[in-house]
């Protein structure tokens, strides 16, 4: 038997830990849920008394100190763990990281805000343990389930998104948008490398990525009302959803970031043209008007990308100013290339929009390439 040089005892002498192996891990993504964490823990404790379980709170460095509350609870309760992520945001990414941090054979994902019904967890676990299902979904859209007091806009949006996902991605479960589900960890590990860490719709991603190969059972539950804190779902969640659908439709050829890049780029081009047009009307020499247009478009692109494309790594306050300055700096070369290309084209062929577009294209390629490497440091 191979031994480590410093060892006199065979490796087999290492005794196993004394904690019982966990059957179930409940992964709870949190952002600003300080008041909900202890309440959820008490509810899990009551609902899971017959099960060896653990809970992992995955907190994105909440400013209200949610992670501190979770750590404090973990000091006296070994079933509790907390992952504090710094410099990252995103519900899906947090869930993926939490699930991958557990060794339990079964993992559940649920919200911290008590809107999901923890009393369903033993039933969900039973369905997995009996082999009847590989994935169990807490569903608002099967008989016996409901969406609680969703307003008409949110209900309409939810139903519409569900129908789009079902038709385009050929998904045949009733509630692929649910944030409440449980599955076998081995199945998850197989799918994990293909999942998107951006966005909110991890279940939809899972089901679409599995492509019908997961045995799914849905159990009804009633979506509760949030008591403390507020929802983090904003209107930009629509973008995440559309991006995910498109990525899955194109077999991950077109990523969400790429789409947002293109969208912001298109808007930037519009801003560029408008500024160039106004500049020329004000009798600015062409090169100056083009330079000004690029500057305005660049600033707009930076702000929009910070708002949309990189909303998960959004820069704020001082970091925003620093990012903008860095953006100008690293794109200075791009701006020179932009004006140079545009002026050369204009010299050859004095068509302002052709010259402007050629220059802007040059600038856009630079801005995107360099900014994603240095300004937001995305993967």
Quote the least distance from Cβ 66 to ligand GDD, whole Å: 8
User: Which distant-in-sequence residues (6+ apart) come within 8 Å of 357 by Cβ?
Assistant: 269, 273
Structure tokens at 63: 């400013």
The interface partner of residue 58, options being ligand GDD, Mn ion, none and the CB cut-off 5 to 8 Å by kind, is ligand GDD
Going across the sheet that includes 80-84, the strands are: 80-84, 53-59, 24-30, 106-109, 181-184, 135-139, 216-220
Quote the least distance from Cβ 229 to ligand GDD, whole Å: 7
Q: What does the angle CA 318 – CA 324 – CA 328 come to, to the nearest 5 degrees? A: 145
Binding site for ligand GDD (CB under 6 A): 29-31, 33, 58-60, 89-91, 94, 111-113, 115, 158, 177, 179, 200, 231-233
The interface partner of residue 33, options being ligand GDD, Mn ion, none and the CB cut-off 5 to 8 Å by kind, is ligand GDD
Our CB check for ligand GDD shows the closer of 148 and 340 to be 148
Quote the least distance from Cβ 180 to ligand GDD, whole Å: 7
Q: In the complex, which residue's CB is closest to ligand GDD?
A: 179
Chain residues 310-349 in contact with Mn ion, contact rule CB under 5 A: none
The interface partner of residue 177, options being ligand GDD, Mn ion, none and the CB cut-off 5 to 8 Å by kind, is ligand GDD
Our CB check for ligand GDD shows the closer of 25 and 276 to be 25
Q: What does the angle CA 138 – CA 142 – CA 143 come to, to the nearest 5 degrees? A: 120
Quote the least distance from Cβ 74 to Mn ion, whole Å: 23
Is residue 364 classed exposed, middle or buried when 0-12, 13-18 and 19+ CB atoms within 10 A define those classes? buried
CB-facing half-sphere around the CA of 33: CA atoms within 13 A: 24
Quote the least distance from Cβ 224 to ligand GDD, whole Å: 10
Our CB check for ligand GDD shows the closer of 60 and 134 to be 60
Our CB check for ligand GDD shows the closer of 27 and 104 to be 27
Our CB check for ligand GDD shows the closer of 91 and 210 to be 91
Our CB check for ligand GDD shows the closer of 244 and 341 to be 244
Give the alpha-carbon dihedral of 261, 206, 52, 34, to 10 degrees.
Answer: 30
Our CB check for ligand GDD shows the closer of 111 and 218 to be 111
Chain residues 113-142 in contact with Mn ion, contact rule CB under 5 A: 113, 115
Site of interaction with Mn ion (CB under 5 A): 111, 113, 115
């Amino acid at each position: 038997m191979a031994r480590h040089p410093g060892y006199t005892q065979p490796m087999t002498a290492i005794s196993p830990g004394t904690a019982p192996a966990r059957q179930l891990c409940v992964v709870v993504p949190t952002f600003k849920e300080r008041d909900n964490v202890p309440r959820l823990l008490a509810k899990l404790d009551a609902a899971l008394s017959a099960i060896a379980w653990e809970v992992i709170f995955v907190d994105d460095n909440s400013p209200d100190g949610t992670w501190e509350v979770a750590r404090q609870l973990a000091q006296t309760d070994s079933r509790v763990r907390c992952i504090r992520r710094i410099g990252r945001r995103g519900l899906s990414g947090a869930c993926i990281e939490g699930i991958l941090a557990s060794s339990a054979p079964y993992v559940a994902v649920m919200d911290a805000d008590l809107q999901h019904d923890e009393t369903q967890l033993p039933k969900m676990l039973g369905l997995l343990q009996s082999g009847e299902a590989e994935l169990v979904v807490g569903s608002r859209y099967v008989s016996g389930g409901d969406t609680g007091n969703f307003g008409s806009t949110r209900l309409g949006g939810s139903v519409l998104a569900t129908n789009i996902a079902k038709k385009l991605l050929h998904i045949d479960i009733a509630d692929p948008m649910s944030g409440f589900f449980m599955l076998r960890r081995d199945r998850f590990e197989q799918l994990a490398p293909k999942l998107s860490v951006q966005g909110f719709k991890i279940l939809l991603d899972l089901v679409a990525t599995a492509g019908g190969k997961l045995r799914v059972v849905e159990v009804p539950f009633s979506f509760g009302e949030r008591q403390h804190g507020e929802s983090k779902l904003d209107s930009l969640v629509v973008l995440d959803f559309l991006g995910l659908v498109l990525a899955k439709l194109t077999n991950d050829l077109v990523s969400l970031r790429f789409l947002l890049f293109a969208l912001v780029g298109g808007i930037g081009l519009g801003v560029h043209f408008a500024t160039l047009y106004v500049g020329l009307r004000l009798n600015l020499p062409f090169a100056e008007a083009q330079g000004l247009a690029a500057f305005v478009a660049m600033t707009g692109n930076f702000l929009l990308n910070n708002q949309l494309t990189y909303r998960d790594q959004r820069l704020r306050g001082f970091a925003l100013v620093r990012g903008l300055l860095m953006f100008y700096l690293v794109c200075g070369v791009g701006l020179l290339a932009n004006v140079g290309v545009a002026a050369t084209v204009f010299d050859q062929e004095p068509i302002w929009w052709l010259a402007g577009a050629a220059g802007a294209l040059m600038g856009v390629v630079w801005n995107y390439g360099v900014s994603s490497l240095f300004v937001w440091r995305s993967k």
